[in-house]
Structures are given as structure tokens and as C-alpha cells.
Chain A
Amino acid sequence: MEFDWSAEDEEHRREFREFLAAVLPGDWEEIAQHGPGSDAQAAFSYEFCARMAERGWLTQHWPTEYGGKDADPWRHSIIGEECWAIGEPRGPQYMNVNWIGPAIMRFGTDEQKRHHLPLISQGKVLWCQGFSEPDAGSDLAALRTRATRDGDDYVIDGSKIWTSYANHARYIILLVRTDPASKRTRGISVLLVPMSTPGIEVREIPSVVGDRYFHEVFFTAARVPVSCRLGEENAGWDVVSYALQFERVGAARYARAARTLDRLVAICRERGLTRDPLVIDRLAEARAICEAARLLNWRVIDQRAHGSPPTADTQLARVAGTNADRHVGELALEILGPEAMESGTFADANFRLAMTAGVAVGATEIQLNLIASRVLGLPNE
């Protein structure tokens, strides 16, 4: 057991920070306030990811045959931390490099690989994730959107909801039911669908989180060739399970929370709030919460670096990361007070980014269920 970064990893982080300082625009903090799905951030992601690709960093954790460098998960986690901490300049493309690309590598046909992987590794494409439906949230296996085989095509009917980035995306990674008689996890397939396909309509769902955060995506007799399918027909659940292994820890929320906390301290200092022992106490409490989340997340990265299969430690890490993010978000409101009510202020922007943490990519209660059964071994009803 040891907790030191190698000299190479430290150098990598230093170099990446220099790169960030050089390529981020002067008004980046402003841009980053609106979340990775905003117009400005999505647009910037093309420029940013292309420059990361030039340096060989965007997909360094991919195998060399697909344009990567076989870098270990720690290397990639450094990029994830640094990017997420400052508001994710990769925009929606973090999904591509973290798990959509790897899923295509594992399950894709040669043609799919030839087409999609270079687009992703060069930072030239935005994707969105079409999983959730109105009646399939936490219970994803209840999904109903169907794809009916018609010769060499699938005809898709149904709708997806909460789809982030759908307004900008060129492709959607879509979960559909291909066996109409099937239930639950069987009979589901994954399709890689161009968003330009006739019969697809995107509607924004106005939200309090930020502009263009959520969308509904409607499919009305949308026709795509069968060659869009990723993996075997009706075996899509395996594809998704595999893909989401790569997203085990997901966004480095703890890193963002820790950085936000440092900024909060700086603001408190300017305002003369840091002589208040209660403020000091709360800030330190939050710091410890962020640090605990960091280590629980690193624990999961370590398991991956060791090549061990995913465990429910992932859920511990997620709950801790979510707690850290929300804790800091709420603390900034509490300490800075009513000024946070004004849109665009530091506390406002941060709070609204943090408030979804317990629901996005799987609600906390579901994580707690898994901890109870898999870590504590508690029985089901």
C-alpha cells in the first residue's frame, strides 16, 4: 500500500495544468458556469479536445491500435480530475472517451470502429446517451422504446427523456427493445444512431439547473440500417453493463467540490468572514468530506489499475462524491447568504451544478441499496 504519485504522473499533471492555462479562454470561468451541455461549452469542446488529441492525451488510456497509448487508469484519472475540477472543458466529450469509445472497441464491427473511433479520438464528435425514459428511470430495464426489424433496417418508435447534450449531438447511443415480447434486461439492444435521422425530434426541457440541460428525444418511425447495432441483437444489456464499468467512478465530483471549496475560502477571506470560528469549522468539515471522497474514488481507480472486476466499492465512491459535491454547494449558499440568490454569482452557479449530483447517472438510493446488499450482505425483502 502506498499513496505517492510517480514522478511521471506528477509531471503529467503539471504539464496538463500548463496546457489548461494556455488553452482556456480568459472568460472560461464564465463559460463553465452553465454546465458541459451549454452551447458555449459544447462549441469549445471541439477546439479543446482537438488540442488535447494533438498532444496525445484525449484517448491516452485507449489501446495503441485505436490511437491510444495504453496509459494506465491513473493517468487518465489525472486528466479527469483536472478537467472536472475546472468545469469540464471536454464538454460532453468526456463520455465518448470514457465509455462510448471503449464499448465500440469491444463490441463494434470493423466498420463501426473505422468510422466512430477516429472521430472520437480526434475530438471531432459529440454524443448523447439515450437510456432513460419517462417510465424507466432508476429502473432502466423497464424501458419500452422499440426498434422493429424491417428487412435490413430497424424502425424506432418511442421516446427518451433527460437526454443531456441531445441538442448538440451527432450520434445517440440508444437503448431499445428489439424483442417486443421480452421483459426486463433481455430483448434490449444498443443502437448507434445519427441524430440527423428523419423521425427524430429533440425538445428541450426547461430546467432550473442550467440552460439546455435536459431534452426529450422522440422517435417516430425513425429508420436506421441494422448495421447501426452495437453488439448482438437482444444482448444490449451486456453491452451497457460493460460500458458502464468504464464509467465506474464517473465524473470526478470530489475534485470539483474541493476546488470550489478553495475558491469559497478565498471569497470568505476577501469578505472578512474567515475570522468567524463557525465558518472555519464548516469549511474544514467540508474539506474532510472532499478528501474522504477523493480516496474512495481513488480506491476504485486502483482496483481498475489492478485489473480487478468492479465491486460495490464503486457505490461507496459515488455516494461519497455526491455528498461532497452537494455539501460544498449548500455550504457556499449558507456562508455567502442572500447574495447567492442573484443569478450567475459564484454560489448560485455552483449550487445549481451540484444539486443534481444525487440523481444524475443513478440516484443515491440505488447506490445505497447496492451497498446494503453487496457490501453489508443485508437480505432483500
Chain B
Amino acid sequence: MDFELSDDQRAVVDAVLALCVRHAGPKRAVELRNAGGGCDAALLEALAAGGYADIARQEGMGLLEATLVAEVVSRHAGVVPYGAQAIVAAGLTDQPLVGPVALAHDWDLGEPVRFAAHARTLIFGDDDGVRLIPLAAGDAEPVRSDFGYPMGRLVSDFAGRGADLGAGAHARLASLWRLALAIEIVGAMDAALSTTVDYLKVRKQFGRTIGSFQAVQHRLAECKVLIEGARWLAFEAAHKGAPAEGTATAAAYAAAAATRVARETHQLSGAIGFTREYDLHVWTLRLQALSLELGGVSGHRRVLAALRWGLDTDS
């Protein structure tokens, strides 16, 4: 048992932080959106060049290190499917995939899916298993969305396409996906909260900084409790190799926390929080998107109850 980062882990986190300061950030996310809303190819490339794209498969590294990186990338609002590649794809298969990668279930067909219109590989789950599908022109079309990521709609039915990953891959996909979601939510919540805290340390009304009002402080402090809980749940699940119950717990907790943190940070920021000029929306709208993915809060909870206690509505 040890909650401290090892020296190697600290070095990874520091390096990715420096990389994100250079290549990512909320301004860059907004810029990309204004330019038509693609995936951040330069950031993906920088992450790959630094060896972070496949860090989970490197000697002495693993899912936990990928998770540490994913948190930093999310905190810096990277417009890249880092979790899908470095956590989900890396955990599912040893095959190198052509990125960007998008994740979808059969029930996502026709719905907005993160990165679908820009991905070159689709990791696709349905009742029969999981397939790795190279995407071709016409498989997906862009969807206009304000929820912080480039969204696309999958319009093919993908029947018979792609390499099947075999039995067991279906549950594994869901579990890794939940881990990626949980940590991306943590990064975005943390950024939303610190943006808000920083603002409330300087914004004055009634002759005092708003952050000195106790009614405000307690709401922010409660958000912090939620964020830290979500973070450690994700780290523990990552260290244990993404066991299904652990990732369902982490995702259930994080997705519920996400909507609360998004609501509170907006409320406490006042009108400026709704402007495009101010960074907050970059994270809060993403939080909504993330909290809806893969069955959302109730979906994660259903899985958790099934795994923890064998409960399901048919039993």
C-alpha cells in the first residue's frame, strides 16, 4: 500500500504537464473548435513522440501510468481521445491501432459519439463481442455539438467488419472504458473547480472577495471531497488492472460527481461562466458529455450492483 507517486511516475506526470502546457489548454480547445472542430493532431503526435500513447504497454509501466497521464491531458482540455487509445485500446489488444480511436457500442449507432467523425479506428462492442474496425470515408459524419468534444454520428451498420477480439473482450472493453471515463471526468472536474476557486479569490462583491463567503466556501469544499474521492477510486482501479467492479465503482462515483461539480462551478461563477471567452465551459460541458457516456450514472451503478452483490432486475 502506497499512495505516493514513485519517482518514475512523478517524472511521467511532470513531463506530460510540461507537454500539455505547450500543446494543450482551454484556449487551444476553443481555437480548434472555432476552426471547425477537429481532433488535436499535434497534441496526439506530441504525446506519441513522448512515448505516452502506449505507456500502458511499456516495461515497468501500466494502466496506472496511462491513467495518470489521462488525468493531466483532461485537466488541460486536450482535444484528443487519449483515454480511448492509451487506456482502452492498450488494455484490450497488443495490436498497434491507427489513431485517432473512437469507442462505440451498437446502441451508440446514430447517436453523437466522441471523435467518431475524425477517428481512423473504431473499437466497436455489441452482443457478439468487440471488433477493431478501420473507418472509411462515409462511415461517420460530424455532429454539431457544444459539449466540448468533436462529435460524430456513425452511419454504417458495420456488420461483418473488423477483427473480432474474441470472448471476454466485451466486458473488458466496458471496464477499461469506465476507467478512462472516470479519470477524464476527474481531470475536468479538477480544472473546473480550480478555475472557479481562482476566480473567487479575486472577484469582489459587497466589498469582499466572494471566496470569503462561507456559504460559497462550503459548496466548493464539498466539490473537492467528491473530486478527491473520484480520483483515488480511479487510481486504485487502474493499479489493480481495471477490474470490472472497481471501474464501475469509479465511474459511478465520478459521473454523479461530474454533474454536481459542473452545476456548482457554474452557479458560483455567475454570468461570466457562460461566456465563450471564459474557460469554465470547456470543462463543464465536457463533464456533461462524459457523464452520459456508456450508460451514464445509472448504467455504471447497474453494473456495480450486479458485480458487487449479483443484483439485477431479472434475478
Contact = CB atoms under 8 A, between A and B. Distances in A.
Interface of A: 1-6, 9, 74, 262, 265, 269, 274-277, 280-281, 283-285, 287-289, 291-293, 295-296, 298-299, 302-303, 305-306, 313, 316, 319-320, 323, 365, 368-369, 371-373, 375-381
B201 A296 contact: no
Contacts of B2: 1-2, 302
Contacts of B217: 368-369, 372-373, 376, 378
A5 B232 contact: no
B250 to A, nearest CB: 8
A378 B233 contact: no
A323 B300 CA distance: 21
A368 B232 CA distance: 20
B221 A1 contact: no
Contact of A377 (B3, B197, B309): B197
A5 B233 CA distance: 16
B240 interface: yes
A293 B5 CA distance: 20
B144 interface: no
B163 to A, nearest CB: 33
B235 A283 contact: no
B225 A288 contact: no
A93 to B, nearest CB: 26
**Sorted from nearest, which 3 A-B pairs have the closest CB atoms?**
A292-B229, A284-B301, A372-B217
A288 to B, nearest CB: 4
Interface string B1-23: 11111100100000000000000
Contact of A375 (B224, B239, B240, B256): B224
Contacts of A302: 1-4
A379 B4 contact: no
A158 B225 CA distance: 38
Where chain A touches its partner, the secondary structure class is helix
B220 A283 contact: no
Given A302-B4, A372-B221, A281 B232 contact: no
B252 A284 contact: yes
Contacts of A320: 225, 229
B236 interface: yes
Given A74-B1, A280-B311, A285 B256 contact: yes
A3 B225 contact: no
B201 A378 contact: yes
Interface-centre pick from B221, B249, B314 (highest chain A CB count, 10 A)? B221
Interface residues of B, number: 50
A4 B239 CA distance: 9
Interface of B: 1-6, 9, 64, 197, 200-201, 208-209, 211-212, 214, 217-218, 220-222, 224-226, 228-230, 232-233, 235-236, 239-240, 249, 252-253, 256, 298, 300-302, 304-305, 308-309, 311-315
Contacts of A373: 217
Contacts of A305: 1
A275 B4 CA distance: 41
20 contacts: A5-B1, A9-B1, A262-B309, A275-B313, A280-B305, A280-B312, A284-B300, A284-B305, A288-B233, A288-B249, A289-B253, A291-B249, A295-B229, A296-B229, A296-B232, A299-B228, A302-B1, A365-B218, A372-B221, A380-B212
Contacts of B256: 285, 288
B221 A371 contact: yes
Contacts of B209: 379
Nearest to A5: B1
Contacts of B3: 1, 298-299, 302-303
Contacts of B230: 292
A284 B212 contact: no
Contact of A369 (B4, B214, B308): B214
Contact of A1 (B208, B229, B239, B252): B239
Contacts of B214: 369, 372
A2 B308 contact: no
B253 A368 contact: no
A287 B308 contact: yes
Given A284-B304, A302-B4, A379-B209, A3 B239 contact: yes
